[in-house]
Structure 1
Amino acid sequence: MAVLGRYFARSDCARRPALQMRAEFRTLLSAAAMLLVCAVAGPALAGGDRELGEYLSSECVTCHQISGRFDGIPSIVGRDEPELVAALTEYRDKVRDNPVMRAIAAKFNDEEIAALASYFGSIEKQQIERTADRSGDIR
């Protein structure tokens, strides 16, 4: 009882629950604010660095036609970024079954995968095909 007596003798014993609730509310409010910031900023941050993606793309374009043409290997030019991110992540995590793509995707971290998806997603198929078709034109 001596401990309880000391506790109740404190001048702030009546305010302690209110102070504790206020501190918990601040923590909850801070967490909610951070969640809101992440939700709003997430889509903006989701897009990768296109320049980094272009730099990293040299190995990809060895097999995947930069022109967007299909020669037995699926085109990745002009695809939606989320689709490319999901595919590369699944190859890296060994969910999809292709040993070549698994080996290549294993080299990339999440930032590099987002950058590749941003780069290939930004390329327009028709524009590249027109450029490729006219490259031999000597007018």
Structure 2
Amino acid sequence: TDADGLFTAAVERGWAADGHPGFPYTLDWSDRPVVVARMHWALCEAVAAAAVRFAVTGDPRTATLQHRWEELGERAFLDEAAGSWHHELTPEGAVAEFTWAGKPDAYHLVQMLLLREAPVRGSVAAAVRTP
């Protein structure tokens, strides 16, 4: 399906494209990293996509990726002192603020935390709705 192709391409072409763990923010048309920063939201979206893909396909490789990415987020992005996740890291994993200062949004992190355990439905709102 298109969704499988997109997921597979993101993993094969994006993950560690510059030799460092994580998804560089942007790649050029030849899949070379342009902006190498690791943004929290890209990892959050990857975890959520893997959770949904695993729920639909049961593919154990997808579950392995989901758990590997969750571990990276908790190890590298988690801000234990102030809460939430740091929004930007260098490829080496240092906290960075090249794009913006602070933590302007928590949307992606909250969505990831909700979706990774929610049933697959037509929207995030439907997935997290309680009967």
User: TM-score, with normalisation over the residues of structure 2?
Assistant: 0.27
Structure possessing the higher relative contact order (Cα contacts under 8 Å, 6 or more residues apart): 1
Larger radius of gyration: 1
Question: Which structure carries more strand by proportion?
Answer: 2
TM-score by length of 1: 0.26
Specify which structure has the higher proportion of helix: 1
